[in-house]
Amino acid sequence: MSLRLAAMAEAVLRTGDGRAKAALSLDYAAQWAAARAAGAPLEIGTASPPDRPARPARPDLLDPRDVPRRRPGSPQGRIAMLHAVAHIELNAVDLHWDIIARFTDTPMPLGFYDDWVKSAGEESKHFNLVCDVLEAHGSHYGALPAHAGMWRAAEDTATDLMGRLAVVPMVLEARGLDVTPDMIALFEKAGDAGAVAALRTIYAEEVAHVAYGSKWFHFLCGRHELDPKDNFHDLVRRYFRGPLKPPFNEAKRAEAGLPPDFYWPLTETQGK
Ligand SMILES: [Fe+2]
Ligand SMILES: [Fe+2]
Provide the residue count of the chain.
Answer: 272
What pLDDT is stored for residue 71 in this prediction?
81
CA distance 12 to 16: 8
Residue 62's H or E segment, with its range, is strand 61-62
Q: Half-sphere exposure of 173 toward its Cβ, with a 13 Å CA cutoff?
A: 32
Mean pLDDT for all residues in the chain: 96
Q: How many CB atoms lie within 10 A of CB 22?
A: 24
Q: What is the pLDDT of residues 160-204, one digit of tens each?
A: 999 999 999 999 999 999 999 999 999 999 999 999 999 999 999
| Cis status of the peptide bond prior to 59, with omega within 30 of 0 | yes
What pLDDT is stored for residue 241 in this prediction?
84
Asked if 145 and 68 count as a contact pair (C-beta separation under 8 A), the reply is: yes
CA distance 177 to 253: 7
What pLDDT is stored for residue 119 in this prediction?
98
Ligand nearest to the CA of 86: 1
What pLDDT is stored for residue 2 in this prediction?
74
CA of 214 to the centre of ligand 2 (A): 13
Asked if 119 and 208 count as a contact pair (C-beta separation under 8 A), the reply is: yes
CATH architecture for segment(s) 65-267: Up-down Bundle (1.20)
CA of 176 to the centre of ligand 2 (A): 8
What pLDDT is stored for residue 206 in this prediction?
97
CA of 126 to the centre of ligand 1 (A): 5
Ligand nearest to the CA of 174: 2
Ligand nearest to the CA of 202: 1
CA of 22 to the centre of ligand 1 (A): 12
Q: What is the pLDDT of residues 233-260, one digit of tens each?
A: 999 999 998 899 999 999 999 999 999 9
CA of 87 to the centre of ligand 2 (A): 13
Which DSSP string corresponds to 140-202?
A: -TTSS-EES-TTHHHHHTTT-HHHHHHHIIIIIIHHHHHHHHHHHHHHHHTT-HHHHHHHHHH
Residue 241's H or E segment, with its range, is none
Q: How many CB atoms lie within 10 A of CB 64?
A: 10
CA of 72 to the centre of ligand 2 (A): 23
CA distance 133 to 137: 6
Residue type, 37: A
Residue type, 232: F
CA of 77 to the centre of ligand 1 (A): 21
CA of 124 to the centre of ligand 2 (A): 10
Q: Report the pLDDT averaged over residues 140-154.
A: 94
What pLDDT is stored for residue 64 in this prediction?
83
3-state secondary structure of 146: strand
> At a CB cut-off of 8 Å and minimum separation 6, what does 145 contact?
59, 60, 61, 62, 66, 67, 68
What pLDDT is stored for residue 271 in this prediction?
46
In which band, very low, low, confident or very high, does the pLDDT at 272 lie, cut at 50, 70 and 90? very low
CA of 123 to the centre of ligand 2 (A): 6
In which band, very low, low, confident or very high, does the pLDDT at 269 lie, cut at 50, 70 and 90? low
Extents of the domains making up the chain: 65-267
CA of 139 to the centre of ligand 1 (A): 20
Whole-prediction pTM value? 0.96
1 pLDDT exceeds 60?
no
Q: Report the pLDDT averaged over residues 45-51.
A: 97
Asked if 238 and 270 count as a contact pair (C-beta separation under 8 A), the reply is: no
Query: Which residues have a beta carbon within 5 Å of ligand 2, which is an ion?
Result: 92, 173, 206, 209
Closest CA relative to residue 33, chosen from 92, 124, 114? 114
Q: What is the pLDDT of residues 52-103, one digit of tens each?
A: 999 999 999 999 888 888 787 899 999 999 999 999 999 999 999 999 999 9
* β-pair partners for 147: 62
